[in-house]
Structures are given as C-alpha cells and as structure tokens.
Structure 1
Amino acid sequence: MTIELRGINKKYENKVVLDNITLTLREKFSTILGESGCGKTTLLKILAGLVTPDNGEIMLNKNKLFSKSEKVNLRPNQRNLAMVFQDFALWPHMTVFDNVAYSLKGNKEEKAAKVMDALRMVQLEEFAQRRPSELSGGQQQRVSLARALAPRPKVILFDEALSALDAVLREKMQTDIVQLISQTDSQAVFVTHDQHEAMSMSDQIIVMEKGRVSQIGTPKEIYEEPANHYVANFIGKINLLEKDVLIRPEFVHASKGDSKHLHRIFRVLRSQFTGNCYIIHGEVDGNPWLFYSETPFVPGEQCDVYFEEQQLIKIGGY
C-alpha cells in the first residue's frame, strides 16, 4: 500500500497552514507528529477528503484521490478510507451495533456479519445492544475503532484518537491499536502531538513544524539522528554541549568514567522523583542539563558528569 501526497498546499485567509507537503507513506503504521497548530490534523482531513487543498495531488496505490490540475476530488466515501476521531463521534441514540453498521453497504446478513466481526476484534461483541452512554471512554473508543474496521478500508486515519483517555488507558489502547492494525490488511496513519505515543506505535514518523515536514524516518532514526534543533528538542530530552552537538540524558552519569569518557562540571538545581528513578536537573556551562539517578542530589552541589564521545548527537549529522 502506498499513499502519495505531492505539493499539497493549504491557506486559511492569509495564513499558510500547509506549505508544499510531499510525502510517500508505505509503512504499515505511519504517524504524523507535531505541536498544536503545525497543520497535522488539516493534512489528515485533506487525505480523508474532509478538507480540499489549494493545489497538489493525492494518490492511493496509483489511484488519484485528488488532483487540482486534473480536477479530481473523490468524496470521502469514495476513497476507501476510514477515520477514528478524538471525541469518538458516536450517535448517542443508536446502539453499538447500529453505530458500527451505520455506513456499511450490503444486505442485512452481510452487514451483521461485518459488524460482529469488527466487534469481536475489539472485544465488544457482548456490548452490541448497549448505547454509547452505557460504556466507558475506552469502550467508546473501541466502538469508534470497530466502526472504522468494519468496512475493511485500505487506510484507517486516527486524529488524536487517544488524547481524551486517561494515561493508563491510553497506554493500553496504544498496544491494542497496533496489534489490531497488524491483524488487518489496512494501513494506519496516526496523528498525535504526543512524542511517546509516536515513538512506541510507529513504523515511520513524520515530524511537522509550522506547516512543513521537518523530518521523516523510523523512531530510532528520528531520535538518534535529528535533522534540526526542533526535532531534537521535540523528540525526547537533550543536553546541549555545543551549538549543534548534544547528548541525551540517559547517556550521562555521575559515576566516574574511565579515561575514554568526557566529563563536565554539573551544578544541581533540583531532584525530581519519577517512581523508578530521579531526574537530576541542573546546569553545565550555563546550559540546562539533566540526567537520571537512583538517588537524589542536593540543590546547589556540584558534581562531575561523564559521557562517551560516541554517544554525542550532531544535529543534521554533519
């Protein structure tokens, strides 16, 4: 499965929301990641056919979904895509069964089979006759997911789909969604502002900044080889060593290293307990730094911190 977006632009009045977006998505699970207002949701809605771009082309397996120059613009229900929304978007007066069946085609028996198959996949077949108000937030999101799965679309689009859930449930749903997508023939495009969500779920991450794509790569590539300072800061925590050289906190230690290790003088500002370790916040050469420790440090004290040269990250890979 290949999704191609070529030269996609979008303005609202005089504000540029998307600036010449060109992407090829082939991975099973792709995530568009960025801060609020970067254009990621607009891009997803353009792919779904809910928003019309000012120009460009969108292809799904060489089939044109949109082309400004050729005047092609398939309606959302013609694109073989499904969407899972942040607010679940369930009909409150309908049962779970009817919500999932709402957009399905075919005779009564065919639709019922597809509905129950989708509900089994999300483990809600026993809740088919309940209404959304009788379900928890997590169960409602599973109904929304079942509704997307039922027509067996080529692509399922997720728009901040887990942000309304509490932290524990969100983490469980991350695992469940990835497993469900792996069991289907569908490809997923997931939009989020949550870096941890993107890193844990994705085969491919597209980092967006102010309507443009800053970097595309695997989670490992994005983390270890950030293309610029924005990506480096947005994906994980950093300690800046020089203008374009940084080291991640997990590679910094207060225990003395050998002669091969580099070191700096670290001034402690505070210790933050996180449950399994302390985050030690401080400064090195006037720059904010942090590292992880099994024990707290006293604010105001100084210590040497050690790290290996091979763990340094050079912005843009120069």
Structure 2
Amino acid sequence: MEFEVGNETLALLGQSGCGKTMTLKCIAGIERPDEGEIILNNRVLFSSKKKINLLPQERKVGLLFQNYALFPNMTLEENIAIGVPKNTENKKEVIKEKIQAFSLEGLEKNYPHQLSGGQQQRTALARMLVNQPEILMFDEPFSALDEHLRWQMEQEIIKILKENQDSALYVSHNRDEVYRISDKIAIVHNGKIEEINHKIDLFNTPKNYNSAILTGCENISRAEKSGENKIKALDWNLDFVFQGEMRNIKHVGIHTHNIKITKDKNMENVFPLKLIDKIENRYFETLVLIGNGGKSPIYLELPFEEAIEYNIAENVLVEFNKEDLLPLI
C-alpha cells in the first residue's frame, strides 16, 4: 500500500478486513510491516532496507482507536496525563487546558466506566492531542456510539481537524461519514489502494467497480464494447451510445439521481422499462425498473409527488444521458 498525505484529511474507505486498521497500526508502530518505508515530515519511522523501526512513543503520531483504549484503572485526569511528553513544562496546566477544551470539567477523578461513551471519546481525543502529534489518525471512532451522539462527536472531530490543519488519516466503511470529514478518499481493497481522489470527484465519477460500490452507486452492470461508441450493459440487456474511455471497460454504472423519465422516445439512450416495485424512503421514492430480458433491476429516484404518477407493472420511458454513464474497470 502506497500513499502520501499533505495538510489534509485522507480517508481510507473499504470493507471490514481490507487492511485499513492494520495500516494505521503500522504507522503508529503497534504493528511491524513486512517491508517498505513510513516517512513522516522527512523523519523515517520505519524502513526495512535501513533497518529503522522507531518505538511508538518516538513517532509523534496520534491514534484514536474504536474502543478509545482508555486505561480502566486510571482516572480521566490520569488517562490524559499519560499522553503528555515527559519534558513538558507546566504539565498540570496543559492537562487542565485540555480538560476545559473538551468540556470535561468536574469529571477529572472519574474512571472510564463512570463516563458516558461521548465523555470517553473526548477523553481519548484530549489524550491524543496533548502529545502534539504530527499526524492524527482515527480508526472507526464512532462505531460504538448511537446516532445522536455519533453526529455530535463527528462535528467535534471536524472542528479539531479544521483547527489543527495538519495531516490526518481517517478509517471507516461508512461512506457518508467519510464524505463529511475527509478532503480526499482512498479506496482500499484486499490490502491495496485501488483509487485515490478528491472526495467530490471520487463520488461523482469513480473509475473502478469497487470504488463505485463503496461510494454508493446503486446501478452497476457488467458491460462490454458492442460497437463504435457503443456498449452493452449485459445485466440490463441495454445497448448504450457511450461517451468516454472504453478501453478495459468491464462494468458500466449510473447514479440513481442521474436517470431521468422522459416522454421523447426518439432521443438516444431512451428505453421503455417495466416498473416492478416502489421503495419508500424518508425524502423520496425509489422506482425499481427492469428492461426486457434484463437480469438485474435499475433504480431511479423521484420526489413523492412525481412518483405517485407511476404504477407497478406499467412501462416507464427512461433516459440514460451518455455523459452520466460511468465506465468502470
């Protein structure tokens, strides 16, 4: 796995077990890579060739674990204190400042089991930042929180990242969370980075199958070139006029919000699809459509007031704009 991160937040997005957490542990010095180099601000933290492997406490990195890794036999104050560098002057004042910054006043003598999930997380954040790390790393920090508290703590981390303006790595399998927090996203699959890009570009125009799946593209079909500027979507049994790079194409995708209903059957990439189901969401309705001879459904989003016009078993005339079709390798 190879990547660089500047003064930005890079998210590692991938399914469980793909190597995201292991990457953070290697950077932190908790795990030892088999080979390669880890360099932070021109300091070599690890090099298999040069036989360098700095201890975790020498690396100046901050890692927030899923379970916060607070010491159960230490108070809140003591847990923060253990992160303060030994040569720090006014150690008590530094700890007090962090306790105030994270609104933990009055809880100094409480043990982790006496703290709520949010208080535990803020304690872990305070301990991480008191060490003045050169890079911040977050490993699925909201996995143990309920939805309301998750949102609050997410805003807390976004605020911290904006204030520090340093390098940060954020690990998650939640695409919405990653989109809100990160600047760039790396798609991780089987221990390798398959694609890395700015979040807007990656979500709008993913380049490969795994990127499309992980960023939430609901409509994906196997595809092959069928002619000059034409591709066949095998799972939908549809032939598209296509605009874009067709070399090495294996799949074609399109976002649900980019499929349009039309009344002009003479336009290119317009097909009659059968409405087989309607799925009610919170703010819109999803039409489930299928082409003649198609094996997989196609999903289209409509506002409630528009979706009510269409009935199950009817044919709906649907347009796939060639500029919105995604060639996927």
Give the TM-score taking structure 2 as reference length. Answer: 0.82
Q: 1:30–1:205: 8 Å Cα contact kept in structure 2?
A: yes
Residue 280 of structure 2: which of 273, 294, 297 is its match? 273
Range with greater deviation from structure 2 (92-101 or 300-309):
300-309
**1:232 positional shift:** 1.1
- The correspondence of residues 37-76 of structure 1 with structure 2, limited to 5 A, is 37-76=17-56
Hey, what does 2:97 align to over in structure 1? Answer: 117
Query: Percent of counterpart pairs with the same letter?
Result: 30
1:139 counterpart letter in structure 2: Q
Candidates 217, 237, 240, aligned match of 1:237: 217
Question: Is the strand fraction higher in 1 or 2?
Answer: 1
**For residues 78-99 of structure 1, what are the alpha-carbon distances to aligned partners after superposition, in whole Å with 9 as ceiling and x for unaligned?**
0001111101211223222211
**Map of 1:99 onto structure 2:** 79
Amino acid in structure 1 at the alignment position of 2:145: L
Match of 1:4 in 2: none
Verify the 8 A CA contact 1:224 1:313 in the aligned structure 2: no
Mean CA deviation greater in 205-214 or 223-232: 223-232
- Which amino acid is the alignment partner of residue 52 of structure 2? V
**What is the CA–CA distance in structure 2 between the aligned matches of 1:258 and 1:123, rounded to whole Å?**
61
1:210 partnered with 2:210: no
**281-290 or 92-101, which deviates more:** 281-290
1:183 aligns to what SS in structure 2?
Answer: helix
Distance 1:244 1:111, change over 3 A: same
Counterpart-to-counterpart distance in 1, 2:318 and 2:325:
14
Which residues in structure 2 correspond to 1:1-318 (within 5 Å)?
21-106=1-86, 110-184=90-164, 186-240=166-220, 242=233, 244-254=251-261, 256=263, 262-284=269-291, 285-295=294-304, 298-315=311-328
Q: Which runs of 5+ in 1 are unaligned?
A: 1-20
- Judged with a 3 Å threshold, the aligned counterparts in structure 2 of structure 1 residues 74 and 108 are, in CA distance, closer, same or farther, namely closer
Work out the CA distance in 2 between the residues paired with 1:144 and 1:279. 41
**What amino acid maps onto 1:148 in structure 2?**
M
Higher mean displacement: 52-61 or 264-273: 264-273
Correspondence for 1:5: none
**Structure 1 residue aligned with 2:230:** none
Q: Which residue number corresponds to residue 15 of structure 1?
A: none
Residue 196 of structure 1: CA displacement?
1.4
Contact 2:13–2:214, Cα closer than 8 Å, also in 1: no
- 2:270–2:319 Cα contact (<8 Å) kept: yes
User: Radius of gyration: which is bigger?
Assistant: 2
| Conserved 8 A contact 2:84-2:127 | no
Counterpart Cα distance in 1 of 2:116 and 2:268:
52
Structure 1 residues 113-157: Cα deviation after superposition (integer angstroms, max 9, x where no partner): 222222333332343333322322122111111111111111111
Partners of 1:80 and 1:263 lie apart in 2 by 57
Instruction: Return 5+ residue gaps in structure 2 as ranges.
Output: 222-232, 234-249
Secondary structure in 1 matching 2:164: coil
Using a 3 Å threshold, how does the CA distance of structure 1 residues 258 and 70 change in structure 2: closer, same or farther?
same
SS for the counterpart of 1:47 is helix
Superposition deviation, residue 33 in structure 1: 1.0
C-alpha RMSD of matched pairs (Å)? 2.3
**Pair 1:185–1:286, CA change in 2 (3 A):** closer
Tell me, yes or no, if the aligned pair for 1:84 and 1:157 is still in contact at 8 Å.
yes
Distance 1:141 1:253, change over 3 A: same
2:16 and 2:63 map into 1 onto residues whose CA distance is 19
Q: Distance in 2 between matches of 1:117 and 1:79?
A: 24
State the SS of the aligned residue for 2:124.
Answer: helix
Give the Cα–Cα distance (whole angstroms) in 2 for the partners of residues 44 and 106 of structure 1: 24
Which segment drifts farther, 109-118 or 93-102?
109-118
State the alpha-carbon separation in 2 of the partners of residues 169 and 252 from structure 1.
35
Q: Quick check: 1:117–1:150 contact (8 Å CA) kept in 2?
A: no
